[in-house]
Chains A and B, each alone.
Chain A
Amino acid sequence: MKKNTISLFGLFICFSLIFTGCKDDDDNETCSCTTGKVTLTIVPTINGQELEMGKVMQDNQARDYWFTTLKFYLSNLKAVADNGEVVSLADVAYFDFEPNQSTGVKNGLTVDLANGTYTAIQYDAGVRQDLNEKDPSTFANDHPLSINNNMYWSWSTQYIFTKTEGFVVDNGDNKAWFVHCGLEENYEANKTVPVSFTVTGGSTTTATITLNLDKVLEAPHTIDLVADGQSHTTDNMELASKYQENFSVAFE
């Protein structure tokens, strides 16, 4: 009996050794690993200040306005290396900047990446059509496409790509604005944002991208949240399309 206990213990040690690999060597400069990690973080800003939910800011017409919700999907996230090589980071990623909720703020993702210097991130704004057609109740709770994220329209079946909501002050009244944008025709593919970072073996580096929310109201389309600030996509396709197009190029 004793003998066996000892040999089992030995086995355990062997396994532990085999399985740890370079994981335990994170942040160890001497690691000879060929991959590291990158944490891609998105920081939404208004007037150069980081977005705070509920904090009063000025919109493109100098009116007071604020956000209560900012959630979105990006698909086909890729990193562009300085040698021109393009490496996939994620099929789809979910971002949510609303604190005080069970799912918590999701402002980024951490993925493995080969060592090297990278110069840009490529992405599509929205949920790629093959994923958009999936049943949200089949994903695990921590999957970006989980139904728990409340980003699914049951009636016309498919995901809300970008969900933004808030209030804008119009002649002293707080007016709700919201844009819930989805549908394949509003999928904005092949966008690139320059950002440089270097991945070194076994360690985690960060890459930070700004989402310029001022631009979402300004370019290429001008959006007036008081005059036309409500869309669930099919009931106001024009606003949804403009918003998603602006949003897709507001990363910098």
Chain B
Amino acid sequence: MKLLTHIGLGIGVILLSSCEPDEKELTSENDLPFPIEIPAGFPAMEVPNDNPITRGRVALGKELFFDPILSKDRSISCGSCHQPEFSFTDQEALSLGVEDRIGERNSPQLANVAFKPLFFKDGGIPTLELQVLAPFDNHLELDLNVVDAVNRLMNDAYYTKRFQEVFDENPSAFGLTRAIAAYERTLISGNSRFDRYFYQNEDVLNDAELRGLELFRSDELKCNSCHSGVFFTNFQYENVGLELNYVDSGRARITLDPADAGKFEVPTLRNIAVTQPYMFDGRFETLEEVIDFFASGGLEHPNKSELMQPFSISEEEKADLIAFLETLTDESFLNDPSHRP
């Protein structure tokens, strides 16, 4: 009788295991959801089904993000060009561009990157997971083919152990891209003084800053026609007339449509006071230079946005506008120890 039960149990186990192959027990700390707080005014975050934001993935992603093991000569990491204290930018005008691409670009900030519809200044990449692949093949960035990068991780006892803990498998391109993307989704910045003023109704802005906000929204400056919404971008691609002839054709490199030449993604203005230099090629050192450029109305490129019209702005107004832009700095985000290695 006892034996029969055992056999019965055995068959039960066989049946069960064939229905749920290799389902890992949900007891590990690694599988617990990473606490994500969505700031007031922000939309819900869309997370792909194959990449839940778990503690394990975020922690592993952070390690990988700051580990030079992923670059060919082990000299730089993602974090070299995307530094937390500068809202995940570097202070260089140009981080060299991706292989096969003409031109070089300024490294963008990663604050709130989880909420972007597309990635890169030309919108050429549809998901954060796929984005992780881009710096690898680039001879001017990590310069280590992702297949070789995964092999390197496989030969590393520490990472083999970590991938086993988190993904239940050896290092793979899947795990690598998932972990880094999960970490990037935790880089949420919505606690600037502007947020406290606007979304929490706290009386924290001074007169100059409030005058700057009015200018920003004014019909004359029209900044918020493009830099609109909670992220200060409509996520559209616009030509602002920086050049008459763009060497880097921007959005047109993806759409191959000449009408898109010179169009770049409208960037977020959150934390803008710490992400200098500015524009796709880092041509402007200061916010003042950027404002002077917008006041000029830009060069007459055939694709230039109609919203780009010259306006006059006094020195005092300029100072107010900059004071407003500085209210978008989120100190708690820039100093968050949990984002760092």
Contacts and interface: CB of A to CB of B under 8 A. Distances in A.
B130 A157 contact: yes
Interface string A1-44: 10010000000000000000000000000000000000000000
A155 B120 CA distance: 9
Contacts of B3: 1, 4
A147 B100 CA distance: 18
A180 B7 CA distance: 59
B133 interface: yes
Interface in A211-252: 232, 234-235, 237
A137 B177 contact: yes
B133 A156 contact: no
Given A138-B174, A147-B173, A157 B147 contact: no
A154 interface: yes
B137 A154 contact: yes
B163 to A, nearest CB: 13
Given A137-B174, A138-B174, A147-B147, A235 B130 contact: no
Contacts of B176: 137
A155 B98 contact: yes
Contacts of B101: 155
A135 interface: yes
Contact of B134 (A1, A154, A237): A154
Interface string B98-128: 1111100000000000000000100011110
B256 A237 contact: yes
A180 B99 CA distance: 13
A136 B98 CA distance: 18
A130 to B, nearest CB: 14
A148 B304 CA distance: 42
Given A1-B3, A147-B147, A237-B256, A152 B100 contact: no
Interface residues of A, number: 20
Contacts of B7: 4
A1 B7 CA distance: 11
Contact of B173 (A136, A153, A232): A136
A135 B130 contact: yes
A180 B124 CA distance: 18
Nearest to B135: A154
Nearest to B147: A148
Nearest to B178: A137
A150 interface: yes
Interface in B113-171: 120, 124-127, 129-131, 133-134, 136-137, 145-147
Nearest to A1: B3
A235 B256 contact: no
Contact of A135 (B127, B145, B253): B127
Given A138-B50, A157-B124, A234 B173 contact: no
B307 interface: no
Nearest to B50: A138
A247 to B, nearest CB: 20
B130 A153 contact: no
Nearest to B100: A232
Contact of B256 (A137, A155, A180, A234): A234
Given A1-B3, A137-B177, A234-B100, 10 more contacts: A135-B129, A137-B129, A137-B173, A137-B174, A147-B173, A150-B145, A150-B147, A154-B134, A234-B256, A235-B102
Q: Which 8 A-B pairs have the closest CB atoms?
A: A154-B133, A137-B173, A154-B134, A232-B100, A155-B98, A137-B174, A147-B173, A156-B124
Interface of B: 3, 7, 50, 98-102, 120, 124-127, 129-131, 133-134, 136-137, 145-147, 172-174, 176-177, 253-254, 256
